[in-house]
Amino acid sequence: MQTVSKCLCALAVIAGFSLPAAGQSALWARVDSGAAEVRGKVVAWRRDFHQHPELSNREFRTSGIVADHLRALGLTVRYPIALTGVVGVLKGEKPGPVVALRADMDALPVTEEVDLPFASKVRATYNGSEVGVMHACGHDLHTAILMGVAEVLAGMRKDLPGTVVFIFQPAEEGAPEGEQGGAGLMIREGALENPKPEAIFGLHVFPRPVGHIEYRPGAFMAASDSFKIEVRGSQTHGAQPWNGTDPVVVSSEIILALQTIVSRQIDISRNPAVVSIGSIRGGVRFNIIPALVELGGTIRTFDPETQGDLHERIRRTADMIARASGAGAQTTIVRTNPVTFNDPKLTEQMAPTLKRVAGADACSISPPLTVSEDFALYEQVVPGIYFTLGILPEGSAGTGGAPNHSPHFYADEAALVVGVRALANLAMDYMLQTK
């Protein structure tokens, strides 16, 4: 019995608590046992969402299931918010702070190529084109995990020392052209008001060993900007290119030159940076040189100085190459997401919780990630922590696995219960430490 008591006290010291160790360990045990009990439901929800993915701002079925679940748990529910979002409020019977947990619900215009019994066969229209639809970024896992967290914590309402706000967000991948959406719209429509959280936590599944958690204080994920370059020439017959100005060739020169900006003009020893072209549109027939080619791309940076510098260099490079060939280039850059910045003090406070959940050997500080997240917008309103949860099956970590946004993206469902435990314990520990 002395040994058990010493272990409990040690856990309390590691986690930074001042309350009696036995009481805290009992709450931790209830959270973990609750997570184990809902595991089957979480897996079933995840598979259902995976088989029935919905694009950004079209998450009607998904959000309806989420809203019904939260109502059944007795939460106060706002639905819809920000078109297809859901906010549920769980008020504990003990006084304490307000903490928010967030999951995103939208899928991607990707045709699934993974052989699963619940693989997506869904097709939809995206920006005027017919596309396959797939949860290629794991938002199906995020949604199912947070539904599980809601059930676990709702079952502990009598002992809950505060209030938990559950945010189920649409359109994290970006709203369709001409629409608003995502975290920005959720905030503008009051997702962080009445009650206002004092902290917010979220996770993203990532190709790391299953169950491993990685976090980083400060700048964690990059700021992202989207850009479009319209290259205008003059149309002519493909057999007589000298009678026009070929924007296809000019666009090719611009694409290659853009890749030298980061590799030859930016000091990446200070901070990482990325410039990538993701789309090229131009022409309707093999033997007609078109008048217009559109290039679409993304910029990733970690500091405002590099971000502004890249914007100027991209514009100048496109303009001067186009003019050298007698063409024209118009560049439009849109700032999409700021840097995902984990509050350093809050991260230090809650890191012991993540280590306790994952195990010290399976929890580590991540390098900066050049992916981007609109969770960053919440962190501009309240202090927050965003972290990654590994989903690579055992034995596959050495292969690197399929990346997020790949048609081969695959997640080991053993990560689901770890995700439930991580978010539920973060909420509980934060409330206990700050009440």
- State the DSSP string of 102-164: EEE---BS-------TT----EEEETTEEEE-B--SSHHHHHHHHHHHHHHHHTTGGG-EEEE
The CATH number of domain 223-337 is 3.30.70.360:
yes
Domain boundaries in the chain? Answer: 2-221+339-434, 223-337
- Between these two residues, 397 and 176, which has the higher pLDDT value? 176
Q: What mean pLDDT do residues 259-273 have?
A: 95
Inter-CA distances, 333 with 175, 223, 311, 339, 384, Å: 16, 13, 7, 17, 28
- Which residue from 155, 95, 112, 82 is spatially nearest to 377, judged by alpha carbons? 82
Residue 321, pLDDT > 50, answer yes
Confidence of residue 24 (pLDDT cuts 50, 70, 90): confident
Distance in angstroms (rounded) separating the CA atoms of residues 13 and 25: 12
Residue 308, pLDDT > 50, answer yes
Confidence of residue 20 (pLDDT cuts 50, 70, 90): low
Confidence of residue 192 (pLDDT cuts 50, 70, 90): very high
Residue 325, pLDDT > 50, answer yes
Q: What is the pLDDT of residue 17?
A: 45
Assess whether the region 2-221+339-434 and the region 223-337 belong to the same CATH fold.
Answer: no
- Output the CATH code of domain 2-221+339-434: 3.40.630.10
Residue 4, pLDDT > 50, answer no
Terminal Cα distance for the chain, rounded:
30
Q: How many CB atoms lie within 10 A of CB 239?
A: 8
| pLDDT tens-digit map of 272-295 | 999 999 999 999 999 999 999 999
Long-range contacts of 283-286 (CB under 8 A, 24+ apart): 283/248, 286/238
Residue 68, pLDDT > 60, answer yes
Confidence of residue 434 (pLDDT cuts 50, 70, 90): confident
Task: Give SS3 for 180.
Answer: coil
Q: What is the pLDDT of residue 2?
A: 41
Q: Are 217 and 344 contacting, i.e. CB atoms less than 8 angstroms apart?
A: yes
Q: What is the pLDDT of residue 395?
A: 78
Q: What is the pLDDT of residue 14?
A: 41
Which helix (H) or strand (E) segment holds residue 173: the answer is none
| pLDDT tens-digit map of 216-237 | 999 999 999 999 999 999 999 9
- Report which residue type is found at 258: L
C-alpha 278, offset from chain centre: 19
97-127 burial by CB neighbour count: b if 16+ within 10 A, else e?
Answer: bbbbbbbbbbbbbbebebeeeeebebeeebe
- Residues labelled as active-site residues: 106, 172
Q: What is the pLDDT of residue 23?
A: 78
Q: How many CB atoms lie within 10 A of CB 163?
A: 21
Distance in angstroms (rounded) separating the CA atoms of residues 303 and 309: 10
In a 13 Å sphere around the CA of 87, the CA atoms on its Cβ side amount to 23
Q: What is the pLDDT of residue 8?
A: 42
Mean pLDDT of the chain: 94
Query: CB neighbours of 2 closer than 8 A, spacing ≥ 6?
Result: none
Q: Are 361 and 178 contacting, i.e. CB atoms less than 8 angstroms apart?
A: no
Q: Are 269 and 287 contacting, i.e. CB atoms less than 8 angstroms apart?
A: no
Q: Are 205 and 391 contacting, i.e. CB atoms less than 8 angstroms apart?
A: yes
Question: Can you read off the two tokens belonging to residue 67?
Answer: 């809203």
Residue 410, pLDDT > 70, answer yes
Distance in angstroms (rounded) separating the CA atoms of residues 376 and 225: 13
